């Protein structure tokens, strides 16, 4: 990695060779259910996926649903998990966490990027 790439990583902006193609897309669970597995791979390649916390809640709630005929709830969640973007996906921060941090005086960058929670 060159000096320019390491400087870009320190600033929080990935260098051009690490950036994903396409615009950022916020999607819901029903969108993924409507895609085939091949379409979900193409979606992951050409778009930056923003995964909201509600997506995880909805998906986990499917485990509590009554099973459809011939399928277990675990099978439904497995299918969604297989289609969930991985390569260019960013889970965003919950809105309540952002509100609380803002009230405590923490500033946020305004450069049209996904606000991810610190890991």
pLDDT tens-digit map of 42-82 = 999 888 888 888 899 999 998 998 878 888 889 989 999 99
Q: For 10-52, what is each residue's pLDDT tens digit? A: 444 444 544 556 788 889 899 999 999 999 999 998 888 888 8
31 token code pair: 């969108």
Residue with tokens 């193609």: 21
Query: Which residues on adjacent β-strands are paired with residue 91?
Result: 51
Query: Which ranges constitute the DSSP H helices of the chain?
Result: 3-10, 29-34, 37-46, 53-61, 73-83, 95-103
What's the angle, vertex CA 18, arms to CA 7 and CA 56, rounded to 5?
115
CB 7 within 8 A of CB 15: no
Confidence (pTM): 0.68
């Amino acid at each position: 990695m060159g000096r320019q790439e390491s400087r870009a990583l320190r600033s929080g902006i990935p260098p051009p060779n690490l950036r994903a193609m396409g615009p950022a897309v916020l999607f819901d669970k029903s969108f993924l259910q409507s895609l085939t597995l091949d379409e979900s791979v193409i979606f992951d390649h050409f778009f930056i996926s923003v995964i909201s916390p509600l997506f995880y809640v909805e998906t986990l709630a499917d485990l509590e649903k009554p099973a459809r005929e011939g399928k277990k709830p675990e099978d439904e969640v497995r299918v969604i998990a297989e289609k969930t973007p991985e390569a260019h996906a960013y889970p965003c921060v919950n809105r309540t966490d952002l509100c609380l941090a803002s009230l405590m005086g923490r500033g946020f960058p305004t450069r049209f990027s996904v606000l991810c929670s610190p890991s």
